[in-house]
Structure 1
């Protein structure tokens, strides 16, 4: 993601020893620790949504032979030069070639072959005339085709190698495989596809106030919505989530459980406990001198308390416990890490330009990432900020197609102003 600001100024809060990095700098600090995972081969039918571990080159021309693009007759163009409305040229039909068959003889002057769409054009023929433009007759058991207009050579023939020549690059390393890619791989005879292993991502929630989804509400408690949200986001990014439950506000317990996860998984995500409260244990845990802390404050809203550290070579990314901030933090930091681990050619959310659909008054000294709904009107893309975009708000996450980037101290923005948006995965629903 490009930096929405022109400088890389750091904001320092001495009380909590926090230095607020710009988003791009924080992302850059994560990248060296997002180790590229090994590759594995999966069946073609299981490769959708995976990242290619090696480039793919055409093993043969495609199409592999000259093929007819019409139901009709394969003929020699020169045989039709005298054809016209008043002069029908008659050619002897010497063979019928269905799709999948190969002609048993070449076409010579004065002869033709009945051919079906997709069939290999017989040797000697250099053009195909569609069935509807011919007439036929049978004399003494011999079939003839009549043609009343001259033909050009190469008509209705898809030549060998039109789409690909042998050795042509087909798909690059790091490509996210989709349905079209699978069609091409199948056509080229690739039954097993080399892909990067999916990272196994451990997910913890912290907080004594958390209830599981199936538990009834109790005074002072809330249900743990972040963990299932993160599971879905991890899968969406191509990872394999491993949910390890919630951790009470107990530093010793958190230390042991997180250490176990760091030794067992490719990436560890936590949500909650990274602020400056008395019971924010993840902040305390990350500040311990048992590894490298990459950052513990970002110059952004929401999610400024997002924290990252390295323990034993494994990344620990501690996201805010506020659902909106957790969601944004994942998109900006966890998503690219999961992508880098798989060699993704495009690990970041795509940046688009849109028109602001409604005025936006909120001003901040940090960059804001505002949940928004996209809508296309008369060919113009509009982004409508969520009515309530507080970091603690959950419901507006479901209505968001994008995040509007609001630069710091940008002042009030009016409807119609151009803004940069980060397009979230999925279709535009507005």
Structure 2
């Protein structure tokens, strides 16, 4: 180890954690936020804060599955050889109506799809295979084929019985959950509060998006990216002004943000340079550092700390590393604070689309594009995957996980990928 590297390691007291260990330390400090009640149609995209059980059977009555006639199956037993059994029609039941008659032997009721099957009837025959006649002011339905009990009836409680589990605490509410909640009359939903997440970029070199380029300067692209990522994870991003490389200013701004918001995410200033202020800040006595180095590429300098009971997550200023760091740490924390039952992104098995020859002592998370071909999922690594590269982020819908012991991977190899939010673009 060089003298310079030894000095840096001593100064910053960096001891690399495995990704899973760093995630565990961070998630252990992610405080679940308080529940709140919201109207049903404002609950989409939120996480349930309570288990919900079925308040009644579903369906709540025996329901006709088609337009036709409700009757007693045994009355059709004599249908054979073209003979017709005639049953008196004693009721007409549109959808939403309550039957007015009990069906007895020799009787039937006209019924519509979704209507309640009358008491006494045990089968429904479709309209198209019946015939009708009028005799002495009475209506009769003719049936030519024996019917089985239970035909075309959706029985009470087929989908759920009263008290059955409906939705578990921590479930992300989307269209299907909305439909179920509405069907059971749950018009006010208990969900966890969305965390307010302060986003702070650091670096004297940063320009605002609207500013013209200047020599030696770059536009702040990380903050807008993080704003979208926080929103995708269900949080409420709060954009704060960028901080120049000044430790006193950073200390003041970060403390104000921690006092006001549920979580603070910074980008930049976590490396080992002379002006990397976040690296200095998290080593102060008032801060409990959770980790400041992770065995991963990109983003090994990703740092997390606790100050005054609030979490501070410091991501790399390199766009690629910032993006990967959020997906592995920021997103899961934001979801955990909302009680998500699955805070981490899903991992899939896929095949490698092209050779990947980079070798590293750390686990590498490679931006890649998924393609479905021949019934299999393939992942194609980005042509340029350096931590400082921005453009390939937009084309990535997964991260290929390359273990440190691998000495290069050949096309076609089975690999693990982390599926990023959103649709497959390939």
Aligned pair 1:98/2:89, yes or no?
no
- Give the structure 1 partner of residue 5 of structure 2: none
Aligned to 1:3: none
Change (3 A) 1:15 1:260: closer
Q: How does 1:148-187 map to 2 (within 5 A)?
A: 148-187=144-183
Q: How does 1:267-282 map to 2 (within 5 A)?
A: 267-282=263-278
1:161 Cα offset (Å): 0.3
Q: CA deviation at 1:138?
A: 1.4
Q: Which residue of 2 aligns with 1:215?
A: 211
Counterpart secondary structure, 2:240: strand
Q: TM-score, normalised by structure 1?
A: 0.96
Q: Contact 2:12–2:279 at 8 Å: present in 1 too? A: no
Aligned ranges 1:118-133 → 2 under 5 Å? 118-133=114-129
Report what 2:295 is aligned to.
299
- For residue 85 of structure 1, report the CA deviation from its aligned partner: 4.0
TM-score (norm 2): 0.97
Shift of 1:160: 0.2
1:420 maps onto 2:416 in alignment: yes
Counterpart for residue 338 of structure 2 = 342
User: How far apart are 1:32 and its partner, in Å?
Assistant: 2.0
Give the superposed CA RMSD: 1.0
CA distance in 1, matches of 2:91, 2:273: 86
Runs of 4+ in 1 over 6 A off after TM superposition: none
1: CA distance between counterparts of 2:100 and 2:322?
A: 68
d(CA) in 2 for partners of 1:112, 1:16: 85
Out of 16, 24, 44, the position equivalent to 1:28 is 24
Q: How many residue pairs were aligned? A: 419
Distance 2:175 2:68 in 1: 32
Whether contact under 8 Å (1:209, 1:221) holds in the other structure is yes
* Distance (whole Å) between structure 1 residues aligned to residue 352 and residue 285 of structure 2: 45
- Counterparts of 2:408 and 2:24 in 1: how far apart (Å)? 30
- Contact 2:64–2:124 (CA under 8 A) maintained in structure 1: yes
Counterpart selection for 2:108 from 84, 106, 112 = 112
Q: State the Cα distance separating 1:323 from its structure 2 match.
A: 0.4
1:200 maps to which residue? 196
- Matches of 1:278 and 1:314, distance apart in 2: 27
Structure 2, unmatched stretches of 5+, are 1-7
Unmatched segments (≥5 aa) in structure 1: 1-11
8 Å contact from structure 1 (residues 226, 323) kept in 2? yes
Distance 2:62 2:83 in 1: 30
CA distance in structure 2 between the aligned counterparts of 1:35 and 1:215, rounded to whole angstroms: 38
